[in-house]
Structure 1
Amino acid sequence: MSLKSDCIIDATVKGNFSRFINHSCEPNAETQKWTVQGELRIGFFSKRSISAGEEITFDYQLQRYG
């Protein structure tokens, strides 16, 4: 995922639980780009109630940010 033209998010070497979020054409979450203390950040936010044990998904859309 591109955060901006010269910054790519890649959890190959290190990352958090968000690296297990998969693609879906009917996702239950979405990504939002925020600026926090001058730094660009990507957040995952639910689009609806997500049941315990339900897989979290979002639409990759291959968008470039920045």
Structure 2
Amino acid sequence: MDFDRIYNNGKSLIICKTDKQMSIAYVELTPAPDGDFYDVKTATPIRSDFFKNKTPLWTNQNGD
């Protein structure tokens, strides 16, 4: 799955994928204790307006 946006949520990152029906997958990543990797803390579908007032750290400009 290619994600199209990344948000900073304080101590974690949230990566998102929007599909053609405007459904969004929300995956929260937190740094692993050793600092080399991220652990997946949650993955769930969310409302389309969840990030309405938030600015992404990164967006996929290719539209892939």
Q: What TM-score do the two structures reach when normalised by structure 2?
A: 0.28
Query: Which has more strand, going by share of residues?
Result: 2
Greater relative contact order, per chain length (Cα 8 Å cut-off, separation 6+): 1
Query: Which has more helix, going by share of residues?
Result: 1
